[in-house]
Amino acid sequence: MSVLREAREWLSQDPDPDTRAELTRLIEEDDLAALEDRFGARLEFGTAGLRGELGAGPNRMNRVTVMRAASGLATVLGPGKHVVIGYDARHKSDVFARDTAAVLTGAGVHASLLPSTLPTPVLAFAVRHLGADAGVAVTASHNPPRDNGYKVYWADGSQIVPPIDREISAAIDAVGRVDQLLIDGPGTLTELGEGIIDDYLAAVKSLPLGEARDLKVAYTPLHGVGAATLTGAFLAAGFASPLVVEEQRDPDPDFPTVPFPNPEEPGAMDLAVALAAKVGADLVLASDPDADRCAVGVPLPGGGCRMLTGDEVGGLLAEHVITHTTGDRMVATTIVSSTLLGRIARAHGVRYGETLTGFKWIIKAGPGLVFGYEEALGYSVGSDAGLPVRDKDGIGAALAVAGIAATAKRAGRTLLDLLDDQARRYGLHATEQLSFRVSDLSLIDGAMARLRAAPPTTLGGRAVSRADDLSRGIGDLPPTDGLRYTLAGDARVVVRPSGTEPKLKCYLEVVVPVAGEVTEARAGAARELDLLKTELTALLDL
């Protein structure tokens, strides 16, 4: 089928006037390059669901793509099952959520729609809380404004893993024209009320937070959907309402004040840091657009702010949760996160799990999981009752961090002092990430192929003592596209393509014993990491 014929076939079933106009213009202009970009490939449905640029065609996020995905999910579930649907404030998110509900109910599935634009953790919580069989979150998390996505959860409240993703993908492939799908019946649609938010807030305020509440927090939702829910959580738990960056308070799908709506990106935290300095805040917090991730910063006495890495926050949260829970417990993180969590677990006599990247794997690390995290600012905090959210939860994590900071403040200390304590106790685990964003994904494939063909023997002046190709599977871990290098002198590098963005990511760690001042150890570790970054940049040539 020619690309023009495919485009006309798509146009004839597309219910969206915006993408119909886009496609009509491209056909009339005979813009074969643009049409080939939209129809020469398709968004692949996997464990991360769907995520991509908005627009017409199978290689874009649009109403046809979403309706096909919903029909595939309905086929795998079967009639009579129950699906909860949530959505953020990105372009078309509400429309995609309504389309999903219409297709599911048309297939005899009962759909429950969250009452408004809400954080993804509320959806993950609602799936298990309501005893549903699956959930759908319409979100592209921290991707650029032009993107949207479609994330699927299973009955346990966690993201899908194989083989369910392959079953849904195969069912999507079998879907015919979407204008021939039965919609709006015989299943039923329930529009949930605000009570589901209250239930979520009750769950997260029961997390181990300590007793101290005296804390001034500067916060930004980065134009996402986190402000109302996070503020409600703080008030429910007895904290003062966070001071919110006004320019970024309200949801805005264009994210006008940041180049990328990701708290890890340079400049994204500038307004929050400025607000903290203005009001004399004790803590800086941010959530990404769907509020499943949490960034943490500590204002400095002389001005400025020290942003904590995901690994640093993970270490603080882990020790806090372990000391506030009892019984047979497990903590878990991923193969690209710091090795610090393993040392903390051993010191406290709790079980430790290491998984592939992604919370869908962390949550399945084993029974008794009370804390999981990934270095990309994702955390799931639990209590003796377990995890209220079986996915990363930026709201619950923000509450727990505030509890730690308030307890430290009462003792005249900050989170930075607690990090120094951990460095003395476990060794300084210094981590950093090096990312290469590309416009041509073949560049990433080429870089990975070169590394496999000629593995480095030294990195950053250290001998490579072991090289693991993660695509072959390591231990009990399933295969994944990545390379891990263990270096002499307690250091490590992991290289892997991002699963959600056009990036190649390198995760660096050096572990430095602290014999004297922690500041000296940090300076030495920074030099080691800089050397690794310089050498990797030249080696990858991206």
pLDDT tens track for 126-145: 999 999 999 999 999 999 99
- Of 71, 112, 141, 287, which one is the catalytic site residue? 141
For residues 52 and 104, membership in a common domain is answered with yes
Tens digit of each residue's pLDDT (9 = 90 or more) over 472-531: 998 888 899 999 999 999 999 999 998 777 899 999 999 999 988 999 999 999 999 999
Is residue 13 domain-resident?
Answer: no
Domain final residue, candidates 412, 446, 462 = 412
- Domain-embedded: residue 113: yes
* CA distance linking residue 359 with residue 396, whole number of Å: 15
Q: Which helix (H) or strand (E) holds 50?
A: strand 50-53
What sign has the CA pseudo-torsion 151, 153, 157, 161?
negative
Does 3 map to a domain?
no
Q: pLDDT per residue over 83-122, tens digit each? A: 999 999 999 999 999 999 999 999 999 999 999 999 999 9
For 56-78, what is each residue's pLDDT tens digit?
999 999 999 999 999 999 999 99
Same domain? 42 vs 176 = yes
Residue 170 pLDDT: 97
Measured between its terminal Cα atoms, the distance across the chain in Å is 36
Give strand ranges (E) for 255-362: 283-287, 294-299, 305-307, 330-334, 351-355
Backbone region of residue 267 per phi and psi (left: phi > 0; alpha: psi in -120 to 50; beta: other values): left
Is 299 inside any structural domain?
A: yes
Residues 110 and 175 in one domain: yes
**Measured between alpha carbons, how far is 354 from 361 in angstroms, rounded to an integer?**
9
Three-state secondary structure call for residue 327? coil
Residues 404 and 317 in one domain: yes
The pLDDT of residue 472 = 92
Q: Tell me: the pLDDT tens digits for 262-320?
A: 999 999 999 999 999 999 999 999 999 999 999 999 999 988 999 999 999 999 999 99
pLDDT at 499: 77
Q: 128 is in which domain, residue-wise?
A: 37-192
Task: Kindly give the pairing relationship between strand 134-138 and strand 147-154.
Answer: antiparallel
Note the pLDDT of residue 474.
85
Which pLDDT belongs to residue 542? Answer: 87
What is the percent of the chain where pLDDT is above 70? 100
Kindly state whether residues 187 and 43 are assigned to the same domain: yes
pLDDT for 405 equals 98
> Helix, strand, coil % (nearest 5) of the chain?
40, 20, 40
* Residue 337 included in any domain: yes
Is the domain of 183 the same as that of 234? no
185 and 64 co-located in one domain: yes
Same domain? For 339 and 222 the reply is no
Whether residues 44 and 171 share a domain: the answer is yes
CATH code of residue 133: 3.40.120.10
Q: Position of tokens 């807030």? A: 201
Distances (CA, A) of 488 to 269, 339, 426, 493, 521: 36, 15, 18, 11, 18
For the chain, the domain total comes to 4
Domain closes at, from 308, 334, 358:
308
Q: Are residues 182 and 42 in the same domain?
A: yes
In a domain, 217, yes or no: yes
Cα separation, 38 vs 33, in Å, equals: 9
Please indicate, yes or no, if residue 24 is contained in any of the structural domains. Answer: no
**1: confidence class by pLDDT, cuts 50, 70, 90:** low
Q: Is 141 a catalytic residue?
A: yes
The residue-averaged pLDDT of 206-223 equals 97
Domain identity same for 346 and 244: no
Mean pLDDT estimate for the chain: 96
Q: Which of 249, 280, 308 is at the close of a domain?
A: 308
234-269 pLDDT per residue, tens: 999 999 999 999 999 999 999 999 999 999 999 999
Same domain, 157 and 113: yes
* pLDDT for residue 366: 95
Percent with pLDDT over 90 in the chain: 95
Local confidence band at 185 (pLDDT 50, 70, 90 cut-offs): confident
pLDDT for residue 48: 83
- Look at residue 29 and tell me if it is in a domain: no
